[in-house]
Structure 1
């Protein structure tokens, strides 16, 4: 009897354990369903709970802009681009991922890293200027200017070649992208995501550009105007001391046109006598898919020198320029080009006045859909110093990088804007790998600057030519 009682007691305990387990399992299953259901309603909760939701496009903006960006999110989702808008304030509050980083720029970069790892994002759109979205200043002293400059490539270069987080401060002294006569940060530089910026300073600019992006992607496909490319150039560098007298801007744009065979090509060159403010205006107002200007520039003007002349005053006198004060004369409506400026500092957006590149993009009822240029001074190959019979302006430095844009679009058939940008930088670094043992004023130091300063003002997920 005692034995049977013990057996019954053991059986009862076993049944009780099973019941407790089933109750727990039921509750766990129910809770899991609730979380999954909530995630479907609020996609943002996925990141918080470590779910498996993926996104293609991450838009980062201040809270004051997020409501104006909602139509862009809906438009992107309509075309299969999975999109999420994250406010800066949410990043700093650690809403999605634990906040990391020494300063706000690094906190944003860590957020992009986490979104890349967990959401598998491909594109990042920063909405706001340097006052709205923190920027990373690079401290590279090339012996000429020595001033820190902005690089958004910092946000795109997430991992180094060891698979570690790339903080652009390899010597750990808190000075980013350092390269001078004493200290140096060894950088990866290869973009892991495609990044673009809309340096909007107010809600009105956000609204203008959002409407332009939506209209472009909805209405451009199949339009004849898109199959036009306008290039402009003339004399750029004093190369006679090297035994040549090239019109570098013409040579660079001509090389780019070799990859745009299916486009009507409009050449505005000083040698043709057809490069003027009026002809640039007229050709853009007709509608064109791309505009490539190769010459000198700063934050408010692009200019090409007449043949044999090496003076900005000569360019102004001959009206071979395009300046900020000319932007209001553009009325190309929805016929919006991607504009490439091969000169210096056209996209230096940390100034009190709007820079040349942003003036093009935020122009209402015209202008451009995107602009690519440099955030500070740039470099170009000069003469034929390698004696291979090919002008160095198309083989090296900024000329080579800008040509890669058209090669990757026209020949490689890459039709997403940010992917063309990223692939062009990757091609440049593969062609000219940085030799970190070199010093100030070396070619490698200049190559480093070229890719760091080359910035995209526009939507990196933009479908070039629009959706069919």
Structure 2
């Protein structure tokens, strides 16, 4: 016993002299949401954690020191950023977290820089950029920890990273296991502003307005001369079609943007250029900048806080002394509830490619996910995954640009934010015309007068003799109803399912975003569109003198319509960027499709059969005529005073005059991979244009293959050549 007593006494002395390291605490709980914060923010966040737990989001708050001291899991990692990432991995494995929010600026909570060489002229200017995706990409494809430093040289996310003449590339997975965001707070006031707006947003009423501000990102662009910001934002508007789009194309000035933000929008999209603390764009083909600064955000007085999405260089670069543009939206008293932007020199495509590649495509995917997700972080995560799955990355440049778009795309805000998505906007009221009982009216105009924005009017079977004026965002649906008269549309109304017999015209659109679908139209002018943008004409049947007459109305879309036995099918003057797809034009007696001064338009997948003139471009540049069937017309396509158009992959056969004619004032058109077969005169080119790889029924090399082997070109009157004619017709 004496020896036992001496041993215990010695142990007490030893334990007083030395402190054994604490063992990591064991936690078997599960959580949805992990918040990692610098210690200075922990107290302020307690109320927010309680709020989240009360609203069904199981939330765990952890301070940085708790990570470094091994409070929950054993701490390991080569630097502080890797220690945080290992902690997120352990929390993902043990607690099954889905969302992570980092709270602290770059000075307070570590960032990871990606050393990705985008193989562009700007690389020397930006050898590294912040990527919070690093923290979300926990495992690689083999289930191993994704360190982003597979060669262990201390540089992370390397791609063609050059050191002393040698280039290094890490194995980087990029696929996020968790949805991650950051509140880049420098002080508790910024944190308080952000938290208060999150709670107010989730408790607030729904808003169905989206602000789209954009212009021409690359003025005088040789790649089609398309205003990229406008083109991309119209694509976004199509995805979120149940939102009321406010289109500033471009904004007149900063006050124009601020006015609409103050009036209240759910989403604000600013597609353009940037320089860390300011966003900018141009009017179409103008070199003059239109700016929106960080201080413009600070002067906002809005009480409805939008989710803000921006494109522009380094607008989310939050490691500088001056606050970045995207963080100001969230840190300010007013402004936005969340913002998404790029931490680096973001890349977007030129022309129509703006929606096909890089950041523009990622933005489009984000909004596709946004309308189907209930949490902001899920929309971000799903967009990243969808984007990474979408491309085959072959060349180094292409791969670098795609990787960079994903790595630099960041959320400032709460990843568990409950999105006010309005995928299918509920109508507040349904009114009837021609029936009996409540909400029934004897005339369409009376129902329109009684309706509110968002209402639906159903017109029951019958003949209605009236001229209807519409200045509200409503939908009017005809059920075997005939209107003898006209619709005059001054709003983004929808008109569906009528037979319309107008004396002078059937429908006149003077409101942006009007939608006309599924009608049978008979009048001198079927539809007149004047000074209205983004009108959509789908699945209608026209038998008129002019099916559609339009002027000064860009971005219209025509899909799946039938133009039969008109004098003129579509006559468009000064209507840039219209899209005419999947329509049927037959037996029209004069100009079937006339595009005058309508630059950047697309004519694709249409059928032109037994018309007089099929397609006529007049003073229209940068258009695409593609995959059309042009058969048995008096005249195939005519290109007059029009340049830089692409005529490709069309089937042009059996036309009574020229299959394709280009006048001497038309330059730099490219005519390629068309079937030009058995027209009275297959083609004539009086200008200087490029013909390449077309199939010609009258090419001498078809009969004498030796001449084809010797690369004898196809001669095209007046004096031009197709230097590489195809020897077999294309399957179009």
> Does residue 360 of the first structure (1) align with residue 329 of the second (2)?
yes
2:349 matched to which residue of 1? 381
| Residues in 2 aligned to 1:328 and 1:210: alpha-carbon distance in whole angstroms | 17
Question: How far off its partner does 1:238 sit?
Answer: 4.8
| Residues in 2 aligned to 1:239 and 1:110: alpha-carbon distance in whole angstroms | 49
1:338 matched to which residue of 2? 307
Q: Which has the higher strand share?
A: 2
| Residues in 2 aligned to 1:193 and 1:106: alpha-carbon distance in whole angstroms | 16
| Residues in 2 aligned to 1:103 and 1:155: alpha-carbon distance in whole angstroms | 13
| Residues in 1 aligned to 2:340 and 2:220: alpha-carbon distance in whole angstroms | 26
Q: Which of these residues, 223, 230, 234, is aligned with residue 254 of structure 1?
A: 234
1:38 matched to which residue of 2? none
Q: Deviations over 1:243-277 (max 9, x none)?
A: x111100000000011112211100003xxx5321
| Residues in 2 aligned to 1:91 and 1:240: alpha-carbon distance in whole angstroms | 51
Is the 8 Å Cα contact of residues 220 and 285 (structure 2) preserved in structure 1?
Answer: no
> Does residue 201 of the first structure (1) align with residue 222 of the second (2)?
no
**Structure 2-normalised TM-score?**
0.52
Give the 3-state SS of the residue equivalent to 2:222 in structure 1.
helix
1:229 matched to which residue of 2? 210
1:423 matched to which residue of 2? 382
Aligned residues: 391
Q: Counterparts in 2 of 1:6-45, with a 5 A limit?
A: none
| Residues in 1 aligned to 2:144 and 2:157: alpha-carbon distance in whole angstroms | 16
Is the 8 Å Cα contact of residues 219 and 282 (structure 2) preserved in structure 1?
Answer: no
Give the 3-state SS of the residue equivalent to 1:295 in structure 2.
strand
Give the 3-state SS of the residue equivalent to 1:241 in structure 2.
coil
Question: How far off its partner does 1:145 sit?
Answer: 2.6
Give the 3-state SS of the residue equivalent to 2:282 in structure 1.
coil
1:215 matched to which residue of 2? 200
Is the 8 Å Cα contact of residues 336 and 368 (structure 1) preserved in structure 2?
Answer: yes
Q: Deviations over 1:26-62 (max 9, x none)?
A: xxxxxxxxxxxxxxxxxxx9x82242x1000000001
> Does residue 286 of the first structure (1) align with residue 263 of the second (2)?
yes
- The two structures, once aligned, show a CA RMSD in angstroms of 1.7
Give the 3-state SS of the residue equivalent to 2:279 in structure 1.
strand
| Residues in 1 aligned to 2:392 and 2:112: alpha-carbon distance in whole angstroms | 23
Is the 8 Å Cα contact of residues 197 and 458 (structure 1) preserved in structure 2?
Answer: yes
Q: Deviations over 1:114-136 (max 9, x none)?
A: 00000000000000010111000
Q: Deviations over 1:166-195 (max 9, x none)?
A: 000112222111112511012100110000
**Unmatched 5+ residue regions in structure 2?**
1-21, 422-732
Question: How far off its partner does 1:433 sit?
Answer: 4.7
Q: Deviations over 1:68-110 (max 9, x none)?
A: 0011111111111000100000000000000011000000000
Give the 3-state SS of the residue equivalent to 1:327 in structure 2.
helix
2:316 matched to which residue of 1? 347
Structure whose alpha-carbon radius of gyration is higher: 2
Q: Counterparts in 2 of 1:98-117, with a 5 A limit?
A: 98-117=74-93
1:33 matched to which residue of 2? none
Is the 8 Å Cα contact of residues 233 and 295 (structure 1) preserved in structure 2?
Answer: yes
Q: Deviations over 1:317-349 (max 9, x none)?
A: xxx22111212221002x000000022211000
Q: Counterparts in 2 of 1:451-466, with a 5 A limit?
A: 451-465=406-420
Question: How far off its partner does 1:434 sit?
Answer: 4.3
Moved more, 131-140 or 424-433: 424-433
**Unmatched 5+ residue regions in structure 1?**
1-44, 384-390
Q: Which of these residues, 145, 149, 163, is aligned with residue 123 of structure 2?
A: 145
1:407 matched to which residue of 2? 368
2:294 matched to which residue of 1? 324
Q: Which has the higher helix share?
A: 1
| Residues in 2 aligned to 1:444 and 1:423: alpha-carbon distance in whole angstroms | 20
| Residues in 1 aligned to 2:381 and 2:275: alpha-carbon distance in whole angstroms | 24
Q: Deviations over 1:210-266 (max 9, x none)?
A: 11111111223xx3xx21100011011256333x11110000000001111221110
| Residues in 1 aligned to 2:415 and 2:187: alpha-carbon distance in whole angstroms | 21
